[in-house]
Amino acid sequence: MSEDRTPVLQARGLTKHYGHVVAMDDCDFDLQAGEILAVIGDNGAGKSTLIKSLTGAVVPDSGSLYLSGEETSFRSPLDARRAGVETVYQELGVAPALDISQNLYLGREQRRPGIMGTVFRQLDKRAMRHGSAAQMADLGIRIQSIRQKVETLSGGQRQAVAVARVAAWATRVVIMDEPTAALGVRETRQVLDLIRRVRDNGLPVVLISHNMPDVFAVADRIHIHRLGRRVALVESSSLTMDDAVAVMTGARSPETLTQVRVPDPVGHRTNLVDATTTPGEAQ
């Protein structure tokens, strides 16, 4: 990963207050093309506020957001979605009584061409089934038929449908909030494989997880969040799980880690991670 590439999604100095509580305090964020970036942090570290401001669910009090180097702002989840940032949630992702194809196209249904589509508003079920089948095959998700109702699928397969849906519509970034929290060991492995395939198909992934083995299994880089801000951005191969947990909980200073140098967006501020890193160690 060359360091001078423009990050796909970048944030500088995000701050959010809820009354006197500071949920986000001058927080930075960097996501490169083609990577899986894990965001880890203890409960109450403000991870979810960060993620919500990246998905438009929360509007930060101050700070800037950049998509492929261009400054932007998300006022609502719809804004983020329109910009090509899609999110997989831990639950609530699918409608069990609908089939896989209907779920993949939910809210973005495709109508038939011609008068049947324009006047009679008829859905193009065949095209949607074709698109869904292609998407599922593309991601290597094993199912019997695209017409299966989602309720007939296992928990892992359901989550796979949610991921496939998001990966189908995201054009820039896929964000996954604890996608494996409700799953068993085997199903978790399937979803992790799926996350890798999403990245290999060209979409960078932000993975929020509590599960350190999961994080270390798939992440290229790790964003460690503590007390409302990023305290470290590291290559996942450069540290151990114990190191990560120690930094996350404050038992160890992030300055002792080899952090990733991040590019400056548009002269907004200079290398932020360097600011928390002693000069000799920054790489």
Partner 1 sequence: MIQPAVSGAAVAALESDEGDRRSGWRQLLTHQITGPLAALVVAIVIFSVTTDTFLSAGNWSLIAQQSVVVGTLALGQTLIILTAGIDLANGAIMVLGSVVIGKVALEGSPLLALLLGLLVCVAVGALNGALVSAGGLPPFIVTLGVLTAVTAGARLFTQSQSYPISNGLLTVLGDGPTVGGFTITYGVMLWVGLTVVLGYALSQTAWGTRVYAVGDNPGAASLSGIKVKRILFGVYIVAAVVYAFAAWQALGRTPTADPSGYSTSNLDSITAVVIGGTSLFGGRGGVYGTLVGALIVVVLQNGLTQAGIDSLYQQVATGVLVVVAVGIDRIVRRRQSR
Binding footprint of partner 1 on the chain (CB under 8 A): 77-78, 81, 87, 89, 91-98, 102, 104, 106-109, 111, 120-123, 129-138, 143-149, 151-152, 168-169, 201
Report the nearest approach of partner 1 to the CB of residue 85 (Å): 13
Inter-residue long-range contacts of 139-145, CB under 8 Å, 24+ positions, other chains counted? 139/163, 139/164, 139/167, 139/194, 139/197, 139/198, 139/201, 140/193, 140/194, 140/197, 141/194, 143/100
Tokens standing for residue 213:
């083995």
Report the nearest approach of partner 1 to the CB of residue 260 (Å): 31
Give whichever of 10 and 135 is closer to partner 1, judged by the CB atom: 135
- Measured distance CA(259)–CA(264) in Å, rounded: 15
Give whichever of 148 and 211 is closer to partner 1, judged by the CB atom: 148
Give whichever of 16 and 81 is closer to partner 1, judged by the CB atom: 81
Question: How many angstroms from the chain centroid is the CA of residue 278?
Answer: 30
Contacts with 62 (C-beta within 8 Å, 6 or more apart), sequence order: 13, 14, 15
Report the nearest approach of partner 1 to the CB of residue 214 (Å): 23
Report the nearest approach of partner 1 to the CB of residue 165 (Å): 8
Give whichever of 150 and 273 is closer to partner 1, judged by the CB atom: 150
Exposed e or buried b for every residue in 222-252, given b needs 16+ CB within 10 A? Answer: bbbbbebbbbbbbbbeebeeebbebbbeeeb
- Measured distance CA(54)–CA(48) in Å, rounded: 10
Instruction: Give the helix/strand (H/E) hosting 95.
Output: none
In which residue are the tokens 């609502």 written?
76
Give whichever of 146 and 246 is closer to partner 1, judged by the CB atom: 146
Report the nearest approach of partner 1 to the CB of residue 111 (Å): 7
Report the nearest approach of partner 1 to the CB of residue 210 (Å): 21
Give whichever of 25 and 138 is closer to partner 1, judged by the CB atom: 138
